[in-house]
């Protein structure tokens, strides 16, 4: 109809169509047009852009869209691990060295990040954000009483093959997709979780001079 301007649904539909066609550059261009038109993106918009760019090996760009979506309140279940948060939240994060769920056990404090409801790509982007955050606050992390990092992926109870795709994606990224593999352990009583000891984490973080050096290897598309 003449005179009807495209809205969030229209732009998100176009972005999704571009992403489904493997045209991540075009998806980004439509997003830029959306911004120029003053139309607000929603969760579908940002999620699609994260998936499209990450699937094309552009993890840094995917992380940018993840940050933008988190700042816009579109990823409320997955808190942003970045210094671009409001100052009061950054102080809270810095004090605890992590945003997410903190749990105290008889063996000390553990940090828990739950990825099991994310997509495979979404879990990898979220992990990249986490690892860069931990490198940024490495000295605070070393002085804290955190003993372990727990990464919850689920074990695939409802998966067709009986194996969690998120678990596989996380394992592939941390063991093969980074410049330096990160030692993972699976607790005997919980196959839906990976455990990283704090000494292993600190030693791994010391391999990087800055958070930005932590990146996911770009793999050629099939």
In 37-119, which ranges are continuous DSSP H helix? 43-55, 59-71, 87-96
Q: Which residues pair with 114 in a beta bridge?
A: 152
What is the predicted pLDDT for the residue at 93? 34
Query: Could you give the CA distance from residue 32 to residue 184 in angstroms, rounded to a whole number?
Result: 39
What is the predicted pLDDT for the residue at 103? 53
What is the predicted pLDDT for the residue at 140? 81
- Half-sphere exposure (Cβ direction) of 46: Cα atoms closer than 13 Å: 20
Compute the radius of gyration of the chain from its Cα atoms.
Answer: 19
Report the largest interatomic distance among the alpha carbons of the chain, rounded to a whole angstrom: 67
127, 81 in Cβ contact below 8 A? no
What's the whole-model pTM score? 0.75
What is the predicted pLDDT for the residue at 109? 63
What is the predicted pLDDT for the residue at 139? 86
pLDDT digits (tens, 9 = 90+) for 30-68: 999 999 999 999 999 999 999 999 888 898 899 889 888
Q: Which residues are within 8 A (CB) of 6 and not within 5 positions of it... i.e. 6 or more apart?
A: 37, 39
In Å, what is the CA distance from 180 to each residue of 66, 203, 214? 24, 11, 9
86, 77 in Cβ contact below 8 A? no
Low-confidence ranges of the chain (pLDDT < 50): 1, 77-100, 106, 222
């Amino acid at each position: 109809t003449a005179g009807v301007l495209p809205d969030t649904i229209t732009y998100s539909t176009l972005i999704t169509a571009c992403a489904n066609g493997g045209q991540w550059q075009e998806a980004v261009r439509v997003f830029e047009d959306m911004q120029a038109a003053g139309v607000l993106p929603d969760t579908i918009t940002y999620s699609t852009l994260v998936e499209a760019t990450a699937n094309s090996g552009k993890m840094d760009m995917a992380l940018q869209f993840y940050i933008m979506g988190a700042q816009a309140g579109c990823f409320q279940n997955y808190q942003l691990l970045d210094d671009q948060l409001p100052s009061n939240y950054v102080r809270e994060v810095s004090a605890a060295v992590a945003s997410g769920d903190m749990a105290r056990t008889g063996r000390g404090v553990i940090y828990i990040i739950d990825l099991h409801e994310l997509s495979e790509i979404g879990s990898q982007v979220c992990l990249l954000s986490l690892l860069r955050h931990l490198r940024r606050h490495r000295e605070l992390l070393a002085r804290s009483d955190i003993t372990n990092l727990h990464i919850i992926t689920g074990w695939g109870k409802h998966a067709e093959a009986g194996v969690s795709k998120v678990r596989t994606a996380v394992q592939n990224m941390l063991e093969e997709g980074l410049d330096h593999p990160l030692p993972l352990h699976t607790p005997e009583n919980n196959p839906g979780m990976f455990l990283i000891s704090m000494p292993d984490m600190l030693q791994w973080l010391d391999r990087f001079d800055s958070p930005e050096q932590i990146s996911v290897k770009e793999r050629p598309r099939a």
